[in-house]
Structure 1
């Protein structure tokens, strides 16, 4: 379920999908090395004024997202997809006392919520035989997402002002992005497999003068059908993303996530999951897919909070 562009509805068929997803991040890394909050506030300079050190370090981020998708088969080889997403992000942040030192002051627990994505895409099958198929896709994300969320955050002097949330805590980016991709998939008997690439490339800065770095994601997967209607899956995902370009003048505090250079990096993740078809209960039009995984390698532009795990499922109904 984590690969875009692998499935296409038949000509004249409409597919509705709802996909909830959850993820958790905690712990700080510089490159591949884990570092403590105390190390960061004692050694990492504030990018706005390098003579000062950072005073706030994220401890935990919980992400919950809901995506709705509508797919339609225009022909046997061409389909279109429209998606919309909302996201909620909950932060636990540790603030250190005063202008220097490693004495903790307290913790904050703010959250953000809003529209994350609105996209349109097309998938075209360029080759198919009884075993193999190749499909290309091209999508666009539109600047309708919410990227000016605010929250209350404890400061080193003990005040709790309402400020603009960090880049990574915004529900969306508010940029116009192009998303090219290609999928190779095969199946023979009870086995299925495939490889895919998809990019996400912001074309311009948003109105707040920043954009996320270019994202490139690669997947390889295999599936095995245990019995008709039940398939297990295994997926390897690798992604690389650049740093944030530009900066928002309202996101300048002495916290790790205010630095645009502390975003992006490389990550490899392993996922296991499955697909259950409604044919098991004589309702072939519906299916449920589920998947969960965790990273096995992270090389982050940091200090940056690391990813712990991700899980989700998808309910699909063919009309």
Structure 2
């Protein structure tokens, strides 16, 4: 089925969007213009809450090996079953609270719906597998290391808690089986999240850079997902007092799975998504985000559309076509 990594990749993209935009709120400064109002990150005052909701959809279609597209027929030369496409929807609920002026803590809980279509070599029969449920919960602390009117630098550290099901079952032409890695709702391990970001104000906008690493710890059912790393930059431009647009370019890399789940060892030669050595990859993503914050309101709304502009996969794996999301957040003093 699809890349075990592209599902977490999509999740990580959405988490990154929430982490970067979750705490966006505008603080006026008496006596001068607030050049920092377009910053993607803001520190919260002690006791100040930010609640958020984001719905994200990812579409994947067609397989890729390296940078080349691979047809179903090509995949079926080596495997009995070829994944054809996958749709994933994620609902992310988040809450952030200021502990001190410099420290904030965020908790995020995703709910996932995943569907993947396949074709069988011998009969041409097509079938679909589905999985849904709560994914891995994230708990992240953010420290404001540098804070001026025109510049802010943050350090973040957190933990991904294995609340997502890694033993998802569904009915296939082979009967009820445990689904391969891409259809699982979590990593099965406690994973360390480390991130840093820097942002700089402009007269009518802002720009910034950020990096993030997810380090896997331990193992689950005999395997460990590969570590992943991400580096990106963004630019925000004010369109009107209540509107802004953000463009973003980011690159990420993720490793193959270490070990293997013995419950699906018999499937390695049947479908590429069961092979832990075919899960790694690298890609560059571009996205555009439109934000609306009504005047005098503590609410903000956003819509984002993104797509990979480069993908190199340890395939065959399903390739990502596009990712879209809508979001809401509100500050509660």
Q: What's the TM-score once normalised by structure 1's chain length?
A: 0.89
Contact 1:286 1:315 in 2 (8 A): yes
| Residues 1-319 of structure 1: pairs in structure 2 closer than 5 A | 2=17, 4-5=19-20, 6-42=41-77, 44=78, 54-97=79-122, 104-154=123-173, 160-206=174-220, 208-252=221-265, 253=267, 254-279=270-295, 282=296, 284-319=297-332
**Displacement of 1:223:** 0.6
Aligned partners of 1:149, 1:129: CA distance in 2, in Å? 48
Per-residue CA deviations over 1:199-247 (Å, capped at 9, x if unaligned) read 11111112x1212110101111001011112111100011100001111
Q: Quote the residue 2:32 is aligned against.
A: none
Aligned partners of 1:220, 1:153: CA distance in 2, in Å? 42
Contact 1:272 1:291 in 2 (8 A): yes
**Displacement of 1:3:** 6.2
Aligned partners of 1:109, 1:125: CA distance in 2, in Å? 46
Higher normalized helix content (fraction of residues): 2
**Unpaired segments ≥5 residues, structure 2:** 1-15, 21-40
**Displacement of 1:41:** 2.2
Q: Quote the residue 2:7 is aligned against.
A: none
Q: Quote the residue 1:101 is aligned against.
A: none
Residue 251 of structure 1 aligns to a residue in which SS?
Answer: helix
**Displacement of 1:71:** 0.2
Contact 1:2 1:291 in 2 (8 A): no
Aligned partners of 2:247, 2:101: CA distance in 1, in Å? 28
**Displacement of 1:87:** 0.7
Aligned length, in residue pairs: 294
Contact 2:231 2:250 in 1 (8 A): yes
**Displacement of 1:4:** 2.5
Aligned partners of 1:313, 1:210: CA distance in 2, in Å? 34
Q: What's the TM-score once normalised by structure 2's chain length?
A: 0.85
**Displacement of 1:11:** 2.8
Task: Provide closer, same or farther for how the CA distance between residues 230 and 10 of structure 1 changes in structure 2, counting only shifts above 3 A.
Answer: farther
**Unpaired segments ≥5 residues, structure 1:** 45-53, 98-103, 155-159
Contact 2:18 2:54 in 1 (8 A): no
- RMSD (Å) for aligned C-alpha atoms: 1.3
